[in-house]
Amino acid sequence: MPHTVPPSETPAMPTIVAKGPSGVPPTSEEISSLLDTIYTSDSSQKSLDGAYALTNLLIQGAGCSGLLNYNILADVRKAASDKKNGAKRESAMLIIGALFERFPREFPLSEAVFLLHDGGIFDVVLDALSDKGAVVRDAAQYAIDALFGCLSPEAMVNGLIPALERYLAKGSGKWQGFVGAYSLIEKMAVKAQLGKGTKEEERQKDLLREAMGKTLKELIPIVESGMHDLKSEVSKQSCKTMTALTTLLSNDDVAPRIPLLIKTMENPSAQTLQKAIHALSQTTFVAIVTSPVLAMLTPLLARSLNTPATPQETLRQTVVVVENLTKLVHDPAEARTFLPKLQPGVKSVKETASLPEVRELATRALDVIETAMGDSHLASGSISKITPEEVLAVLDAKIQEHGGLGGFGDSKLQDLAKNFIAGMVREDINCRMHDRITDRIDPYLRGLLADGNTEAVATAVQAHYIAEDEIKFGKPIPEDPNEVEIVNADFSLAYGGMLLLSHTNLRLLKGHRYGLCGRNGAGKSTLMRSIANEKLEGFPPQDVVRTCFVEHNQGEDANLTILEYVSKDPKIVSQGMDHIREVLLEFGFTDGPEGRQSQPVGSLSGGWKMKLALARAMLQKADVLLLDEPTNHLDVANVKWLQEYLKSHTEITSLIVSHDSGFLDEVCTDIYHYEGKKLVCYKGNLAEFVKQKPEGKSYYTLSASNVQFKFPPPGILSGIKSMTRAILRMSNVSYTYPGAPRPSLHDASLSLTLSSRVAIIGGNGAGKSTFIKILTGETIPQGGKVEKHPNLRIGYIKQHALEHVEMHLEKTPSQYLQWRYANGDDREVFMKQTRILTDEDKAQLEKPVDLGDGRGARRIETLIGRQKYKKTFQYEVKWVGLLPKHNTMISRETLLELGFFKLIQEFDDHEASREGLGFRVLDPKTITKHFEDIGMDPEIANHNEISGLSGGQKVKVVLAGAMWNNPHLLVLDEPTNFLDRDSLGGLAVAIRDFKGGVVMISHNEEFVGALCPEQLHIADGRVVSRTNNAVSLDRFEDSATNSPSGAGTPATGSAVTSAAPSAVNSGDEGGDLKFRAKKKKKMTRAQQKERETRRRLRYIEWLNSPKGTPKPADSDDE
């Protein structure tokens, strides 16, 4: 409520003699006289002045005890309920407002008196919101705002929330009071949301968010009941409050389902419940499940389990969700709070479900629940939480050590103070914010202990719990005095509208090598790029600490020689050309006219380009080296070289993003890990980090538990009845790049089947990517031939995978997919050299063709049809300038002899794409589901531009594009680049279970060894050896659950991971690829009669159907 006189200048009323700062308590008669004067004042201003005078009198003379000893609150409560006197009700609200505004600042313990003592006074203020007088309502709102502004996060959770719960639970108040209570809960939840405030503000938000999350088990049922209130204002505010409360969940798995869960609470019908359970059953739960998540989901799951009419399918989904959630509950105390509510329902399903499958799933879920509720579950690394009772015992002991409370205050106030303080300190301890403990004790005990003792008690309690914390979590590692700190930056980091890091710290010591670990999209590359571009607040500028960002930037200055490229930097060229040559030679770039230093940058393989970037960074003499996936494109020998190089240069500090666990183990001295918008530093390499954070074990196994990829089935190839029949073959292929002194590929051969799992192995620049490009038609061989099944669909991801999307950075992933397949064909196929018409091809199309059929020479316009002809195909040819009735069927062999290979290829690709997209609808719903199957968040896929995605997310976009038309053969050129460990595991499991063929290039021995039994070794452009190895199934986290014989193989059987070479399994390797047409069986007379009867009955049914029903079509396939 607005003041006409500032609080600090409030005058005393003429009839009042307020005591000064002497500390002499006022008499009861003085208090009573002052109250009567306030109630009988003839203006609001005089009442307000009197309220401030009363407050000052109590603060200066009586303190917190005066609120109770003079029965101030009881008197005000009585005045506020006087229905006949509006002025008295207004005066009562003004008194409360003045007390709420000033008392907590001087005596914080008054917060507990106002909110908790004998039911508190806060309910009176909420009831006043429904008063018929506007001035009373305004005064009540002013009082609420005044108290809310004084409360700390701990006081809100331990004082305000219990007061609001008590008010809402009694149910006898007016609807305006309920709206006010619900809006206060919403206000607290909004206050707890992450933001961009100061560091201290964000710490308070973190504390409020975690502490308030623990109260959701009581708050959610209360707010949900308000959503069903008959008064629309109450139900609307309750829905807003519930939406705000869901922001406390901080769980990425549940977040996309929150709108549906709120809708289910708002309209609790059987249909909405089943939709919610179905949505949850489609969720992959990977994040740790905490109290807020359980508080939100337990009521829905319990209702599904305990409703007799729940369908068996919904029950099956429910017990699966219960099992998956329970596995991720790491705190037994939380498990024992929520799981007993679900246990009887699961037990009932186990005993009464009609389907054996549901009973079996319920039995399994029940076992998991019982395990989670046991103390043995503590082995997962959880730490038990402190309770208020435990804090109270310590507080009592410390108070007794310092003289006890004695005669200060009455016993009720003493007990209230100790319980309130214990609750607040409990929140600080559980959030490990020990620096806040003294402020929760010292001010609140003031007036109850002798002077000076309050601070001593607060310090003693704080010291006790700091020692307890060190026992639980270990003492902080002391700093080495010889270490040199070069960076110590406090900062926040955002990208677009997404907050990546909030008020975190980055501290770098000279010579240390830091691994930066986190999921794809967490902001690792964004952080490094911000440092390199000098946009990170608090990070020293380049003239203080020289930083160099080594990333994958393969496209620039491709025509410059390596020496020219490096020496164009003025900071480098000043060191002299001789020194530059020496450094390049150290990195393997040989000198001289024929050496690598004279080669253009564009001719280098990915591995050599990475070495060039590293050489350039070394020449810039960086203090801090920022390495983004440095092992991508590097072969085993060069990875080993890089490890030794980094370890030997102890004067350089490195910040490394890599998904190569072996590399991080070998190189790193420290690990920075992304945890809840913070960077947390762990001493030691990756192995030491996993010991402290067991969930980090995904860095060592290929697991789909965190990120799941699902590849679509490849579909049928006509004429292919065996998984070992050749579908793609290259024979004696050679290729030399323009201007290169020797061939990049010479006399190479390979045959592939639907069961192939082939890895192409070799050093950097050996010719692996050239091999793949020729295989997929990206490049035309200069010698030899490549044959493929006419209907074969190939999903191809290039070595520099981001090239696929670099021309579409302004599009969202969904828009990119729609553009690529808009016309039914894959537009990226048009860019292959086997499809681009050269001048010779265009000249060939202009030549007239005489088939010897007496119709003379004609020019081919296009191919418009294809059909099987004996063991090959014949194509329908449209002639230039002639009507369609003059079209001619010409065999494939004839067209090839005439030189129309690319024309045939274009039509075959179109037909293959048409078959692959036969069951694909290019609508948003289907596209969203496809991106979900590839492990991408639908929100990102539909709304975020590709330019704003991380490297790993862009690779997922490329993978989704390649898999859209259901390819039979997946060709991956270094697929592990840019993917984090979770995505790598999901990709590995998806490839393992894929029912088509797979060819890959990868330097990741772990990845290749787990998937590819057949390995092709290439050196100097030649296939030097073929080896067949048993796949390492133990590298999959789920291998233990699979049978020994079937582990790692899809439903098609062992043929998918056949250990024999693809070429051997293909039959006649040298023969032509011939595919028999599917013969159409002639129907018998009886079958024809049955078909006519079916069609007639279907037609009669259509005639009797409602108007507008589409007429059913007759087909020849019935």
Return the pLDDT at 1059. Answer: 38
DSSP letters of 981-993? Answer: HHHHHHHHHHHHH
Contact of 420 with 161, CB cutoff 8 Å: no
3 state DSSP class of 823: coil
| Helix or strand (DSSP H, E) at 888 | strand 888-891
Token pair for 175: 């609807």
Note the pLDDT of residue 236. 94
- For the cut 60, the answer to whether the pLDDT of residue 729 exceeds it is yes
Average of pLDDT values for 915-942? Answer: 78
| Mean pLDDT calculated for residue range 534-555 | 78
What is the mean pLDDT of the segment spanning 604-615?
Answer: 76
- The pLDDT of residue 1044 is 33
- Give the span between the Cα atoms of 506 and 485, in whole angstroms: 11
Q: Dihedral of CA 125/130/135/138: which sign? A: positive
Which string of DSSP letters, residue by residue, matches 607-639?
HHHHHHHHHHHHHTT-SEEEEESTTTT--HHHH
CA separation for the pair 125, 103 (Å, rounded): 16
Band (638; pLDDT cuts 50, 70, 90): confident
**Cα dihedral across residues 899, 902, 903, 905: positive or negative:** positive
**β-strand partners of 752:** 728
The pLDDT of residue 436 is above 60: yes
Q: Residue 735 above 90 pLDDT?
A: no
Confidence of residue 187 (pLDDT cuts 50, 70, 90): very high
In the predicted model, what is the mean pLDDT of residues 977-989? 72
| Dihedral sign, Cα of residue 138, residue 142, residue 145, residue 151 | negative
Q: What is the mean pLDDT of residues 288-298?
A: 86
Q: How far apart are CA 758 and CA 1008, in angstroms?
A: 9
537 alpha carbon, distance to own chain's centre = 25
CB 464 within 8 A of CB 395: no
- Dihedral pair phi/psi, residue 198, rounded to 5°: -70, 170
Mean pLDDT over 817-834 rounds to 72
Structure-block tokens of residue 935? 């492990």
Q: Provide mean pLDDT across the span 901-910.
A: 75
| Tokens at 704, concatenated | 């789909």
* DSSP codes of every residue in 558-622: TTSBHHHHHHTSHHHHTT-HHHHHHHHHHTT---STTSGGGSBGGGS-HHHHHHHHHHHHHHTT-
Three-class SS state of 1080:
coil
Structure tokens at 378: 């503590």
- Determine the pLDDT at residue 177: 93
Percent of the chain past pLDDT 90, that is, above it, reads 16
pLDDT at 461: 92
Q: Are strands 547-550 and 624-628 parallel, antiparallel or unpaired?
A: parallel
Better-scored residue on pLDDT, 447 or 704 = 447
Spatial distance between the Cα atoms of 408 and 411, rounded to a whole number of angstroms: 9
Q: How far apart are CA 137 and CA 118, in angstroms?
A: 24
Kindly state the tokens that stand for 113: 């008196």
Q: Which two three-digit tokens encode residue 845?
A: 């199309």
User: What is the arrangement of strands in the sheet containing 872-879, beginning at the earlier edge strand?
Assistant: 860-869, 872-879, 888-891
- Cα 561 to Cα 859: distance, rounded to the nearest angstrom: 47
Question: Of 755, 750, 757, which is closest to residue 720 (Cα–Cα)?
Answer: 755
**By the 8 A CB rule, do 663 and 639 touch?**
yes
Quick one: angle between helices 388-401 and 411-430, nearest 10?
120
Residue length, the chain?
Answer: 1118
In the sheet with 1022-1028, reading across from the earlier edge strand, the strands are 794-797, 969-973, 997-1001, 757-761, 1014-1019, 1022-1028
How far is the C-alpha of 126 from the C-alpha of 143, rounded, in Å? Answer: 10
As a whole number of angstroms, the distance between CA 584 and CA 615 comes to 6
- Residue 1092, judged by CB atoms within 10 A of its CB (0-12, 13-18, 19+), counts as exposed
Give me the domains of the chain, ranges plus CATH numbers. 1-150 (1.25.10), 153-248 (no CATH), 388-458 (no CATH), 485-699 (3.40.50.300), 839-915 (2.40.50.40), 1085-1118 (no CATH)
Residues 6+ positions from 343 with CB-CB distance below 8 Å:
366, 369
Summarize pLDDT for 786-808 with one digit per residue, the tens: 888 888 888 888 766 577 777 88
Least confident of 591-595, 628-632, 882-886: 591-595
Report CA torsion sign: 242, 247, 252, 255.
Answer: positive
| Cross-strand bridge partners of residue 829 | none
Find out whether 984 and 659 touch, Cβ atoms under 8 Å: yes
Contact between residue 958 and residue 931 where contact means Cβ atoms under 8 Å apart:
no
Name residue 995's amino acid.
Answer: K
Structure tokens at 74: 């009881």
Residue 954 pLDDT: 83
- What are residue 504's DSSP bridge partners? 491
Least confident of 556-570, 878-892, 1064-1078: 1064-1078
| Burial grade of 317 (CB within 10 A; 0-12, 13-18, 19 or more) | buried
Helix (H) or strand (E) holding 1094: helix 1085-1103
Q: Which amino acid is at 224?
A: E
Query: Does position 498 have pLDDT exceeding 70, yes or no?
Result: no
0.85 exceeded by the pTM?
A: no
Q: How many other C-beta atoms are found inside a 10 Å radius of the C-beta of residue 247?
A: 16
CA distances from 227 to 57, 219, 239, 242 (A): 44, 13, 6, 9
Nearest residue to 128 via CA among 164, 171, 173: 173
Asked if 1043 contacts 982 with a C-beta cutoff of 8 angstroms, the reply is no
- Cα–chain center distance at 761: 33
890 contact partners, CB below 8 Å, separation of at least 6 = 851, 874, 875, 877
Other beta carbons within 10 angstroms of residue 1108's beta carbon come to 5
List pLDDT tens digits, range 986-996.
788 888 888 88
Average pLDDT, the chain: 80
Of the pLDDT bands very low, low, confident and very high (cuts 50, 70, 90), residue 939 is confident
Task: Please state, in angstroms and as integers, the Cα–Cα distance from residue 807 to each residue in 502, 795, 827, 946, 979, following that order.
Answer: 33, 19, 13, 10, 21
The C-alpha atoms of residue 1024 and residue 746 are separated, in whole angstroms, by 11
Res 158: pLDDT: 92
- Alpha-helical segments (H) within 197-257: 199-213, 216-227, 232-245
The predicted structure's pLDDT at residue 482: 78
Question: Is 451's pLDDT higher than 70?
Answer: no
Among the listed residues 780, 801, 797, 786, the one whose alpha carbon sits nearest the alpha carbon of residue 738: 780
| DSSP element (H, E) containing 951 | helix 951-963
pLDDT in tens, 120-148: 889 999 999 998 989 999 999 999 999 99
* Alpha-carbon gap, residue 681 to 676, rounded angstroms: 13
Cα 504 from Cα 677, distance rounded (Å): 8
Nearest to 817 by CA among 925, 678, 911, 957: 957
Sorting pLDDT into bands at 50, 70 and 90, what band is 1118? low
For residue 580, the SS3 value is helix
Report the alpha-carbon distance of residue 257 to residue 478 in Å, rounded: 45
Contacts of 442-446 spanning 24+ positions with Cβ under 8 A: 443/107, 443/108, 443/109, 444/108, 444/109, 444/112, 444/417, 444/420, 445/109, 445/399, 445/417, 445/421, 446/107, 446/109
Given this model, what pLDDT does residue 426 score? 92
